[in-house]
Amino acid sequence: EPEVTQTPSHQVTQMGQEVILRCVPISNHLYFYWYRQILGQKVEFLVSFYNNEISEKSEIFDDQFSVERPDGSNFTLKIRSTKLEDSAMYFCASSPDTEAFFGQGTRLTVV
């Protein structure tokens, strides 16, 4: 069964460093998303992407964040200069319409 794949599963980075989280969405899906879950808190929407551009973003998704679909398969989230409060589980999701399929997540720890 097709699935959303995220790499790495864990990432530890120093404050101020740039990180890139990678995702391979399900191949025939059109919509792509990033969500995050700070430990013990709810899952929060970051950004959605369709037709090679951002379709919607939350207040969390500030200038430190960017997304890219560099080729036909990958979908990346870049955090330019990480802060301690960026520590969270980051989920990629893809969707053919209204139902989102989630990856296993990347646990980002900023130290």
Partner 1 sequence: AQSVTQLGSHVSVSEGALVLLRCNYSSSVPPYLFWYVQYPNQGLQLLLKYTSAATLVKGINGFEAEFKKSETSFHLTKPSAHMRDAAEYFCAVTNNNAGNMLTFGGGTRLMVKP
Residues that bind partner 1 (CB under 8 A): 4, 30-31, 33, 35, 41-45, 48, 50, 55-56, 58, 91, 93, 95, 97-105
Q: Take residue 51 and report the two structure tokens written for it.
A: 């037709």
Strand partners, 94: 32, 101
Contact 26, 94 (CB under 8 A): yes
- What is the C-alpha separation between 31 and 49, in angstroms, rounded? 6
Shortest Cβ 30–partner 1 spacing (Å) = 7
Shortest Cβ 12–partner 1 spacing (Å) = 16
Closer residue to partner 1 (CB): 15 or 38:
38
Closer residue to partner 1 (CB): 22 or 81:
22
Closer residue to partner 1 (CB): 19 or 100:
100
Strands (E) in 8-71, as ranges, are 10-13, 19-24, 31-37, 43-50, 53-57, 65-68
Closer residue to partner 1 (CB): 48 or 82:
48
